[in-house]
Structure 1
Amino acid sequence: MHPTGSPAGRLAAVGNQMIEIHLWLSAELARLRESLDTAGDTLPTRDLRAHCLTFCAALGRHHTGEDGGAFRLLGDQAPELRPVIANLINDHEVVAGILERVETMLAGDTAVPLAQVRAELDGLAALLESHFRYEEKRLVAALNALSGRPGTAEELLGLTAPSDTAD
């Protein structure tokens, strides 16, 4: 559960919110991959395309938010983390390339073999699993130390941590 209230209070656990966002993004990617498995080899349905594009946009916002928000602040506050942050930003660029390929495949009117989409999402899942664990291991304590800094978790992380009300 993440704290509510003022931005300073919410930022007291920004690293923990990042973990919540990572868990949510991982679960959404798993759901997306499962929906591909049930679609067989047919052209993705409108709902499947919408789910995929929505996921891609959310993941992109999260990484853009980190790069321009939390990572910028951490680089200023903890210069020793700059090499870690540089590695994470490089990962974000690789992820953005995968997302762009998936979006291109799903945006067109031509038939796309679902095996191709599935392969991209499988690669994305493997990369994100490693990326999220590395980021959490190296940055959570430093992020949690950002309490009292101006801004919201959404500004720092690109997304608001999902609520605990959904099952």
Structure 2
Amino acid sequence: MHPSHPPGGRLTALGTQLIEIHDWLREELARLRAGLDSPGGGGLTRELRAHCVGFCTALDRHHTGEDGGAFRVLADQAPELRPVLAELREDHEVVASILTRIEALLAEAADGRSVRAELNGLAALLESHFTYEERKLVAALNRLAGGAVRLLGVASPDAAPHDPRGTGTT
């Protein structure tokens, strides 16, 4: 669950939930990067590795949920957004490739610098991706009905008593 939002909360529109999910993912990525900079840093503790794997899983679920949920609905209801959705899907493929490299580095017990380099690239791409997606899609998403988990891949940290990683537990 998002650490600064209580479960339940107010029901929000999907576009607003998208922003909340993106903000949570931004915070988690910042925590990961800060963990690599901690005193005695450079090394990946078991806890930091687990956090990294959890983050990668949450991000993958979010993008998979968008591609299989919200983007399909948007393509049907707002055909003018199809070129934007295609660009965002391409970004999702690039992000998935980076996540695969990060997971391989973690499996190899690589040093923190290697993981840091991939996380830095991921952070730059995600910030651009999230900002573009929010600018282009929030209003259209706010017109949709449906649950955040089904359409966005993970629950909004402020809207549902689900784990934002999409496991359905709190």
User: What TM-score do the two structures reach when normalised by structure 1?
Assistant: 0.86
SS in 1 for 2:37: helix
SS in 1 for 2:55: helix
> C-alpha displacement at 1:113, in angstroms?
2.1
On the 8 A contact 2:14/2:148 being kept in 1, the answer is yes
Give the corresponding residue for 1:112.
110
> C-alpha displacement at 1:112, in angstroms?
1.1
**Which of 116, 131, 134 is matched with 1:136 structurally?**
134
> C-alpha displacement at 1:163, in angstroms?
3.2
SS in 2 for 1:163: coil
Give the corresponding residue for 1:41.
42
Deviations 1:38-96 (A, max 9, x none): 15233x11101100000000000000000000000000001110000000000000000
SS in 1 for 2:33: helix
Q: How does 1:65-104 map to 2 (within 5 A)?
A: 65-104=65-104
The CA RMSD measured in Å over matched residues stands at 1.8
For residue 134 of structure 2, what is the amino acid of its counterpart? E
For residue 119 of structure 1, what is the amino acid of its counterpart? A
For residue 153 of structure 1, what is the amino acid of its counterpart? A
Q: How many residue pairs align between the two structures?
A: 152
Give structure 2 stretches of 5+ with no counterpart.
Answer: 160-170
Give the corresponding residue for 1:158.
153
On the 8 A contact 2:35/2:41 being kept in 1, the answer is no
On the 8 A contact 2:67/2:89 being kept in 1, the answer is yes
Greater helix fraction, Structure 1 or Structure 2: 1
Identity %: 64
For residue 84 of structure 2, what is the amino acid of its counterpart? V
Q: Runs (4+) of structure 1 moved beyond 2 Å?
A: 1-4, 39-42
Give the corresponding residue for 1:7.
none
Give structure 1 stretches of 5+ with no counterpart.
Answer: 5-9
> C-alpha displacement at 1:132, in angstroms?
0.3
1:27 counterpart = 2:22: no
